[in-house]
Structures are given as structure tokens and as C-alpha cells.
Amino acid sequence: MAAKPIPLYLVSGFLGSGKSSFLKNIIEKLSGLKRIGIVQNEFSSINIDSRILAQSGYFSLMEVNRGSLFCLCQLNDFIPKLADFIDKEQPEVIFIEASGLSDPLSILQMINSPYLSDRVRFSRAYTIVDCSLFDMQVKMLKSVSNQIKIADTVLINKCDKLHSEDCRTIGNKVEAINPFCKIVYTQYAVLPDSEYDSIFENSFTAQAILTIREKDSQPLTAPPDILVKVLSTARKISIENMERLKDHIKPLLRAKGFIRMANGSAITIQAVSGDISLQEYTLPVLRSEMVFFGESIDLHYISNLFNA
């Protein structure tokens, strides 16, 4: 008797919208109840988010770095690797976190592949929107509107940063792009309990994908023209230089990473268009590693700040 197809969920959203927070919440809700498989896609050579998720619970991880898994250059290699991951790890539910720069319309090609059509069932597409930056981001890249077009559920996230009526205005704009999607207003990408229950019970079936025409589902041939740089160093940074680093990365679209402090502690840093947050990190950190997205990234200057 053939095994039942595994529910597969796509999680997309622009840089810093809250995708990792979404997955952290999923892991905390389902870890120990389901065997969770997570596929993380990052444009850079290092994956910061997987180590942040490691604090949340147990899951099996497949990493796809150095490009978009929905790009022509990656898709043909990714599909058989995902099939192997499924055979090895035997997950009961799979979440694919697409890079914030990905255009996910080519999901049709992936789920219709003979490698995967009997193994997975595309259950739902979640897209996460940073409501405080939506107007700027949707004008910047076509991939942002495409992430919304394919969504069954759109999280209007970070609603604590705007008045409720402004959040509703963003919701109306999202609905104009995709009138078929369910809209949920969230903080820290926390879903209503009913949504987690439906994921646990495998009761979702993707609908928005059925409105996408095959000719519109071709993957991008290259990532968007956004500069990405990576820092990796064994050196530490002082509190004073940490303030200089924060000032330097404020103009960037996105920055994230792990930092070893001169006092012996370790922190995670998350920056989205000038909004910077720091949190203590309790697992071992052997190197300071950061990924930067945007223009005017002076890697030499940043590297020299790590002098402890």
C-alpha cells in the first residue's frame, strides 16, 4: 500500500517580514507531536536562521544556500534532493521557507515533478508581509506581489508598528493583488490556534495555486539585483563598536547574524530597514557571522569593528 502524500507548506515573504518567527512558532506548537521537515533557502553561503530555529525544538533540516531554489539554475537539482530528504528523514509535514528574494510562482513545476507528485501534497502557501514596509517593498520587486498571488493565507505581520486602520489599509491592498487569500493580522507571526489545529490535522488543501496559469509559473532566471555580502570572523566586538555597527547597517534593507561579544556573551542581530533588535543567544557560537542585503555595505569597515 502506497504511503499517503506528505503535507507540504510554502512560507514566503520579503526580507525580514517574519518567516523565521513563523517557523519558530510552528516548531514550538508541533515539535514532539509531528516529525517536522524544514527546507530553508538562503541567497548567501551561510544560513543564520537555521541556528536560531535550533533553540525552538526538534526538526529535520535541508538547506539550500547560494541562490533561490525556485530559480532555473537550482530547481532541477533541488527536486531530486528534496525527494531524497523525504526518503531519509520521513517527515510527517514539510515547510519550505523560500528566500526573501525568491519568486515562488514556479512551485507548480516542483509539485508536478514525477519525483514529488506521489510523495507530497501541496497543502497551503503562507506569505508574510511586513505591514510597516509593504508600500515600499511591493513597488521595489515583482517577486513581492508574486509571493502574495500564490498565497492561501497572508499574514499582515508586525501590526504593533502601525495603527489598526493602517494595517487594514495594507490588508485591502493585499486583497486587491489576491482576492482569494485569507488575511490574518499578526504580531511576531503568531497564527490563531485554529490555524495550527488545521496544520496538525492535515485538513488544508491549497487553493490559490489553482488560479495561477502555467505560463505565469516560470521561475526567475536570476535573483533580483540586490547586493548580498557575508562576514565571518573568529574575532569579537566591543560594546562601543557594536553601536557603530548598528549605525552602519541602519540604511540596509536587511542584516542578520550571530555576534560574539568581547564580554564573552553571544547575541543574534536582526535588522530590517533601520529597525534593529538584539537578543541573547544561548547555544555555542564559534564565529561571528552576518549576512547583509543592500547597497553601501563596507565590509572592510565592519570587519575592523571586530577587533577584540
* Tens of pLDDT, residues 16-25: 899 989 999 9
| Residue-level pLDDT at 144 | 83
The pLDDT-based confidence of 218 (bands split at 50, 70, 90) is very low
* Tens of pLDDT, residues 285-308: 889 999 888 888 899 999 999 997
The pLDDT-based confidence of 117 (bands split at 50, 70, 90) is confident
The pLDDT-based confidence of 228 (bands split at 50, 70, 90) is confident
Q: 248 vs 69, which has greater pLDDT?
A: 248
Query: Is the pLDDT confidence value at 91 over 90?
Result: yes
| Residue-level pLDDT at 7 | 93
Rounded mean pLDDT of 117-127? 89
Q: Which of 131-135, 159-163, 173-177, 208-212 has the lowest mean pLDDT?
A: 208-212
Q: 262 vs 78, which has greater pLDDT?
A: 262
Residue 17, beta-bridge partner list: none
The pLDDT-based confidence of 221 (bands split at 50, 70, 90) is very low
Q: 229 vs 264, which has greater pLDDT?
A: 264
CATH numbers and ranges of domains, the chain: 6-216 (3.40.50.300), 228-305 (3.30.1220.10)
Rounded mean pLDDT of 181-205? 91
Rounded mean pLDDT of 181-199? 94
Residue 182, beta-bridge partner list: 153
Query: Is the pLDDT confidence value at 191 over 50?
Result: yes
Sheet harboring 182-185: ordered strands across? 60-65, 36-42, 93-97, 6-13, 120-130, 153-157, 182-185
Query: Is the pLDDT confidence value at 146 over 50?
Result: yes
| Residue-level pLDDT at 214 | 47
Enter the C-alpha cell of residue 201.
Answer: 490535522
| Residue-level pLDDT at 50 | 61
Say which amino acid occupies 229.
K
| Residue-level pLDDT at 57 | 67
| Residue-level pLDDT at 158 | 95
Q: How far apart are CA 7 and CA 31, in angstroms?
A: 16
Query: Is the pLDDT confidence value at 1 over 60?
Result: no
* pTM listed for this prediction: 0.76
* Tens of pLDDT, residues 38-82: 998 765 555 555 666 666 668 898 887 665 555 555 667 788 888
Enter the C-alpha cell of residue 113.
Answer: 515533478
The pLDDT-based confidence of 219 (bands split at 50, 70, 90) is very low
| Residue-level pLDDT at 204 | 75
| Residue-level pLDDT at 69 | 57
